[in-house]
Amino acid sequence: MQQVEVRLGEATVAVTTASEPEPVAGGHVLRGHTVAVGCPAPPRRFYRHGWQSWSQTRWLDVDEPVAPVTVRDLALFDDDPVHAAAVRHGGAVVGAVEHEGGVLLLGALGIGGRVELTDTGMAATSDTGARWFVAHGNEAEVFAAYADLLGTAVGRRPIGAQRVWCSWYSFYADISEPALHEVIDDLDGLAFDVVQVDDGWQRHVGDWEANDAFPSGMPALAGHIRDAGYVPGLWLAPLLLHEHSRTYAHHPEWVLRDADGTPASAGWNWGGRLHALDVTHPDALAHVCDVLRTVVGWGFDYLKLDFLFAGALAGVRHTDVERHRAYRDAIEAFRDVVGDHVVLLACGAPVIPSLGVFDAIRVGPDVAEVWENTHVTRYLHHLSSPQARYAVATSIHRLWLQPLIGTDPDVAYFRTRYCLLTGEQKALVTDLTRVCRFRATSDIPSTLDPHEVDALANYLTEDVEIHRLGRYLFDIGGREVDFGPVAAAPPVMLPTDR
């Protein structure tokens, strides 16, 4: 390793690198599994990029305390559990510091890595690659330069604007063939592109076949959606096995394990423990590929693949390969199976390792019908639970990904019934979907009042010009919308012993 100085625009910074820095458009490339950069002035804020879709992503004050993790299984849903006990602010693959003279960015040109704030700048480590991009200057320019190089390194598949109706926030898991038929008929005349069937259609998480609520089978449902003029969409969590699933009972050898041989935890949901499929096991990978081939054969050309972080959890694998590489190899196999015509939406997914394979990715936690779940955010420090506040805050900080992948911020709400969001909060969430160019809702037209139906119809067909005026300030069709009061506000969390 060597310590040298590089000129980045108007600033000179000290870097620690394995070889001579290489000048590139917008900055320099550093090499080494461990690198460091010094900030030309005292850092004021640090850009923390979360590991997966739901992970908190925002600019934070450098003197803000590092939030403790209080419940291990919640850490699985919040961020990378490998770094749950970190004592320094850090994030996945890319980080940045803001100081009086601009923004200093350090990001891996690969699928893995961690960037941490130091007393003098940032330090980064990676097991998957040894190329890093460092840049200094205007925030928008350095992130755009990084996105361009990252797209060259790992790929890009940005999708056009989407208009999606999904079943989740009106039915949750209580869906059925008759209920969905009624909704599909009720959508007539509304300009949706996709009707996506969410969780609740399957026998079990891990047993991906229709349950008794769908007596005609999934091909018939896909046909009904297509006959109505929409692209059929389907939700799956293909890298999870519930402890009570038939697949786990028949193939316990397919799951990721801890060093002592017990199944590694992938969290708790659907009333039981969740196991992660070891996608380096050839039979496990073949099983998932068969599932995806089957559902595409049913007629579903839009697949929302959820809880994908399970494929990159730490553990003992059938093949000794770095965990992000294992995930990447698996999703590349998924793309090969479904073909380029199928839209793949990632959710709960490691963000950077998903680039170049998925067409779109959820960029924040679930929105839900409530502004903040204070009992889990303030007491358990669990910021990735369904709630609109942190969905807005995290999603707005990931817009730099748009040249690389579609950015899905989750749904907008038009209904008043069964919704605890205020009118102002609903408007902000709706504007977020406009900025992200991904418009979705779960509202059922027949449950809306006439004014709400008109608002939904206009939302789906409007042609609104959007201009970014600042970090949080946007011109949306001539209206100035400031996401700053939500996106820049630190989370309210009560202290607890670490």
pLDDT (tens digit per residue) in 404-459: 999 999 999 999 999 999 999 999 999 999 999 999 999 999 999 999 999 999 99
Q: pLDDT tens digits, residue range 16-52? A: 999 999 999 999 999 999 999 999 999 999 999 999 9
Query: What's the whole-number average pLDDT of the chain?
Result: 95
| Mean pLDDT on 206-216 | 98
Distances (CA, A) of 341 to 27, 81, 191, 224, 228: 36, 34, 21, 20, 20
Decide: residue 330, CB within 10 A, 0-12 exposed, 13-18 middle, 19+ buried.
buried
Q: Per-domain residue ranges for the chain?
A: 2-49+93-154, 162-487
Per-residue pLDDT, averaged over 224-252, amounts to 98
Q: What is the pLDDT of residues 454-483, one digit of tens each?
A: 999 999 999 999 999 999 999 999 999 999
Distance of CA 170 to the CA centre of its chain: 22
243-251 CB contacts, 8 Å cutoff, 24+ apart: 243/272, 243/273, 243/274, 243/275, 244/204, 244/272, 245/204, 245/205, 245/206, 245/207, 246/203, 246/204, 246/206, 246/207, 247/206, 247/207, 247/287, 248/206, 248/275, 251/283, 251/284, 251/287
Q: Which two tokens stand for residue 116?
A: 């941490």
Nearest to 187 by CA among 205, 168, 204, 164: 164
Q: Are 132 and 161 in contact (CB under 8 A)?
A: no
Among 234, 231, 232, 228, which residue's Cα sits nearest to residue 189?
Answer: 228
- CATH homologous superfamily for 162-487? Aldolase class I (3.20.20.70)
Q: Give the Cα-Cα-Cα angle 249, 251, 255 (nearest 5 degrees).
A: 105
Nearest to 230 by CA among 241, 222, 238: 222
pLDDT digits (tens, 9 = 90+) for 360-413: 999 999 999 999 988 888 877 788 889 999 999 999 999 999 999 999 999 999
Classify 167 as helix, strand or coil.
Answer: coil
Q: Using CA of residue 415, residue 399, residue 346, residue 233, what is the dihedral sign? A: positive
Per-residue pLDDT reduced to its tens digit, 46-97 = 999 999 999 999 999 999 988 766 566 666 778 999 998 889 999 999 999 9
Please report which helix (H) or strand (E) contains residue 127, including its range: none
Confidence label for 217 from pLDDT (cuts 50, 70 and 90): very high
Q: Are 36 and 95 in contact (CB under 8 A)?
A: no
DSSP state of 252: G
Q: Strands (DSSP E) along 138-224, which ranges?
A: 162-166, 194-197, 202-204, 207-210
Binning the chain into helix, strand and coil, the percentages to the nearest 5 are: 30, 30, 45
Q: Which of 57-71, 201-215, 326-340, 389-403 has the lowest mean pLDDT?
A: 57-71
